[in-house]
Amino acid sequence: MAHDYKTIIVSDAEPMIRRITLNRPQFLNAYNHVLCHEVAEAVDEYMKKDTLRCLIITGAGRGFCAGGDISGSEPTEERMARINVQLGRGVEMRDGMHRVILALARCDKPVIAMVNGPCVAGGLALALACDFRIASDAAKLGDTSGKFGLLPDEGGAWLFPRFMGMDKALKMTLLAEVYDAAEAERLGLVTKVVPHDQLEAKTMEFARALADQAPLAVRLAKHMMQRSTDISLERSLQDASLAVMIANPAEDVNEGRKAFKEKRKPVFQGR
């Protein structure tokens, strides 16, 4: 990892587990153009590195991500140069948080959002683009975009209804609602809520469990399930047939069977 990132910290928590920490704590990790570029690049690097089996995304300080930065902290001249051209705002979105959401959607390895605090608007879209959301019981989740006359344009309009149902998603966005972690879990926005002082330990425990699974099977299973929401049952079964042709001859399958017979934990190599 030779990157000199300005707005994120990338570290290997353990040999198979990578962490991306959004590092703008003074703004509750609200994203700007630079942060989006760096997160998308870091996600792509994680996906390409076969030795890494799980990714955790979290925020520095007391927040996960407060959505887009509307504080004016980004140099005005730099931003205006991007948006004051024909189609400029669309290009800014495409190259900004849209790029991050799509990078996560294309990632075929597990990603966990460790939600340590406020997670709203585009921050909630970022968390929902991950596979799992482990939330502190002190976290707050919702969509505050309406308070500013803004839209759920970072992917929320697609993601929110799929997790909550259309009526609840509309209610959250149109009324700019924010929920405590327990209510967010009830609404389907959170995978698991844990005590704040156990967030790190519980997230790492979950990440290790994912990293211990057979990497090839994990990647294929995730790919199959992601595609299943957009295709027919027949196409999904065809996908399954093709995936089996890749996974079943793998050495990891023999290791799984051998470990079962020997009553021990399997050691999967991703082959």
Which amino acid is residue 34, in one-letter code? V
pTM of the model: 0.90
pLDDT tens-digit profile, the chain (271 residues): 557 899 999 999 899 999 999 999 999 999 999 999 999 999 999 999 999 999 999 999 999 999 998 776 666 666 666 666 655 566 667 778 999 999 999 999 999 999 999 999 999 999 999 999 999 999 999 999 999 888 898 999 999 999 999 999 999 999 999 999 999 999 999 999 999 999 999 999 999 999 999 999 999 999 999 888 888 888 888 888 888 888 888 888 787 788 888 888 888 887 7
* pLDDT score of 101: 95
Beta strand residue intervals within the chain, DSSP E? 8-14, 17-22, 54-59, 111-115, 119-120, 132-136, 140-142, 178-180, 192-194
* pLDDT score of 260: 81
* pLDDT score of 233: 86
Looking at residue 268, what DSSP letter applies? -
* pLDDT score of 60: 98
Task: Kindly tell me the sign of the dihedral angle through the C-alpha atoms of 48, 53, 59, 63.
Answer: positive
* pLDDT score of 78: 64
Question: Within a 13 Å sphere around the CA of 173, how many CA atoms are in the beta-carbon half?
Answer: 23
* pLDDT score of 72: 67
